Amino acid sequence: MKKIIFSLTIVILLAGCSMLPQAPVDQDVDLSTRVAQILTENPDASTQIPSPMGNETLAVLPPTATPTALVEETAVPTEDPATKTPLPTMTPLPSETPTITPTLPPTLMPPASDPRLKLGNPSSTDTFTAGNQWVWPIGQDEYSFNEIKDGSMTMRGEGTTSGWRLPAVQGGSNLYIEGTFKTGTCAGKDTYGIVFRVPIRSEADRGYFFAVSCDGMYRLWLWDGKTKKATTLIWWKASDAILTGSDQTNRLGVMTTGEKIELYINGVLVGDATDATFPGGYFGVYVDPDATEKFTYSLEEMSYWIR
């Protein structure tokens, strides 16, 4: 009986101990310790947080900072040299800003190989300043659109394949044909050029195509619409003679002598081929959009020489 009473006394004493108040836990000390640990493991954790956009990060601004929109820097206008007081020296001083030499149009810097220097005056030239001198077909179809306005002929691709226009000018076997083309907005294999030796103008389903692309390449191919067959004579080749990109002017020329075909860009002979599929015929221009919807260029002048 005494043993039972003693055991109950021990149990009561232990229960009373568990009900005594506990010492408070210093949560601030634990939190600061954890922050110090994080900063030690990741020194940048205080300045950047992960962005929900992916691998990018967003800066954490101080509480007093106000985010501002990015603005494009504006160049500070340079001082007008005419208002500057000359320095008392006999040696000319270098200019404060570099002098930029403008790129002259290709027709103003013909190389020695330029056929224009050897052939003299052309047999005929269309500058598009006297109306529709060569009687080009004007308007829109499913492939292209063209109009003559303000001293040039605008040519625009309407679909995803080539479109071409031929004036009412009879060609021949031995000719030099040249056109001055100015590109609009373009990229990649947006293509323009000269179509020539088209046997029947009213059908215009056969002929050769001299193509130049916006990214600075050229090629030569022929199309036979009767058999639905295209044949490549010169595959895409790069040439330093081409001014690449948007808003550039290039002079393209084709010299035909019997079966021989020579290709010129800005007066430079860039390639040649031999083919007798089509011996002669009509000529014109074409457009082929690739990277740019409704790729457009201006034909500023076209000439031909009968040889």
Q: Which domain holds residue 130?
A: 106-306
Inside any domain, residue 163: yes
Other residues' Cβ atoms within 10 Å of the Cβ of residue 166? 23
Inside any domain, residue 16: no
Inside any domain, residue 15: no
Query: Residue 33 — φ and ψ, nearest 5°?
Result: -65, -40
CATH number at residue 145: 2.60.120.560
Inside any domain, residue 235: yes
Inside any domain, residue 53: no
pLDDT tens per residue across all 307 residues of the chain: 444 444 444 444 444 444 444 444 444 444 333 433 433 343 333 222 232 333 333 333 333 333 333 333 333 334 444 333 343 334 344 444 444 344 444 445 679 889 999 999 999 999 999 999 999 999 999 999 999 999 999 999 999 899 999 999 988 899 999 999 999 999 999 999 999 999 999 999 999 999 999 999 999 999 999 999 999 999 999 999 999 999 999 999 999 999 999 999 999 999 999 999 999 999 999 999 999 999 999 999 999 999 9
Inside any domain, residue 48: no
- pLDDT value of residue 176: 98
- pLDDT value of residue 2: 44
The domain total for the chain is: 1
- pLDDT value of residue 170: 83
Inside any domain, residue 134: yes
- pLDDT value of residue 172: 86
Inside any domain, residue 72: no
* Tokens encoding 84: 């500057």
